Amino acid sequence: GAGVSQSPSNKVTEKGKDVELRCDPISGHTALYWYRQRLGQGLEFLIYFQGNSAPDKSGLPSDRFSAERTGESVSTLTIQRTQQEDSAVYLCASSFPSGSYNEQFFGPGTRLTVL
């Protein structure tokens, strides 16, 4: 595709429910990243995929958060038993690294609101 797409663009859920956020990276990009941006704050790294393996999950805030990726394609971020502090914009990025240069292309994000 032309760019990174994410769905849904907005999600409102009740505390305690599970949510799934989807990311479609740019075709051919081997690396995929999830970030979280809380209101008025910078981006927090959550997890990175190289292909369908996740060498770095260090940013996942708790075991309620998980992610998977199918091959070098779609990724899903799942948040179980959502809490109000999970409210944020979740951003996905993909890249095709060249040496140590790594321009990441970002999707528009999913705004998650937990009531």
DSSP 48-85: EEETTEEEE-TT--STTEEEEE-TTS-EEEEE-S--GG
Binding mask 57-86 for another protein (x = CB under 8 A): ------------------------------
# binding residues, another protein (CB under 8 A): 27
- Least distance (Å) between residue 51 CB and another protein: 10
Q: Are 90 and 82 in contact (CB under 8 A)?
A: no
Binding mask 11-50 for another protein (x = CB under 8 A): -------------------xx-x-x-----xxx-x--x-x
Largest CA distance in the chain: 43
Q: Would you say 33 or 82 has its CB closer to another protein?
A: 33
For 107, the 3-state DSSP assignment is coil
106 contributes a contact to another protein by CB under 8 A: yes
- Least distance (Å) between residue 18 CB and another protein: 25
Q: How far apart are CA 68 and CA 98, in angstroms?
A: 24
Cβ-based burial of 15 (10 A; exposed 0-12, middle 13-18, buried ≥19):
exposed
Q: Where on the chain is the footprint of another protein (CB under 8 A)?
A: 4, 30-31, 33, 35, 41-43, 45, 48, 50, 55-56, 91, 93, 95, 97, 100-109
